[in-house]
Amino acid sequence: MFELRIDALHHAPESAVCLWLKVMTTFGSLYRHASPWSSSGWLPDKCDGITKPTGRPALAVCTVYEPNFPDPQVHRLTTTALNLFNDCIVREAAIRGLPVLDLRLICTKPEDYANEIEPGVPGGKKIAAGILNLFQRHDFSSHRTAIYQ
């Protein structure tokens, strides 16, 4: 099976691989520089009043949830693409010691969704519970990344 994966990558058109790399690099750069922890100076403006007693802002990030496409091939393709974005999000959180709410682990059932790409009321309730759980359990003074669901 491992040989099949390498063989598939070997025969993938170079332009497709280069396109994925460009998308991932561009998103990573934009995410990094538009983030509230960037040196752009807007963290204090946007996060005033949400610091913990330690003085460290109580910030967390979340991944992008997987879609709910009924067609298995479309679902696999979109999930693969989203993994590129989620990798950038988790990497930036890890660099900064921020907790991550992994929405891929929360919205897992078709009934969690209102349509193919948006959570419905059940999914929204699960996401809200995940946010509450993260902020109640995470030690923001630890400067450690942890994954929550």
Structure tokens at 60: 């967390």
Q: How many domains does the chain have?
A: 1
**pLDDT of res. 111:** 97
**DSSP string of 69-83?**
-SSHHHHHHHHHHHH
pTM exceeds 0.85 for this model: no
Q: What is the Cα–Cα distance from 93 to 32, expressed in whole angstroms?
A: 10
**Chain-centre distance of CA 121, in angstroms?**
20
Name the phi and psi angles at 97, rounded to 5. Answer: 70, 35
Phi-psi map region of 55: left, alpha, beta (phi>0 left; psi -120 to 50 alpha): left
Structure tokens at 32: 């990094």
pLDDT in tens, 30-83: 666 655 555 554 343 444 445 455 555 678 889 999 999 999 999 998 898 889
Q: What is the Cα–Cα distance from 3 to 25, expressed in whole angstroms?
A: 27
User: From the CA atom positions of the chain, what is the Rg in Å?
Assistant: 18
Q: Domain range spanning residue 90? A: 2-148
Residue 24's pLDDT band, with cuts at 50, 70 and 90, is confident
Q: Which parts of the chain are beta strand (E)?
A: 61-62, 100-101, 147-148
Burial of 14 (0-12, 13-18, 19+ CB in 10 A): exposed
Structure tokens at 5: 């994966």
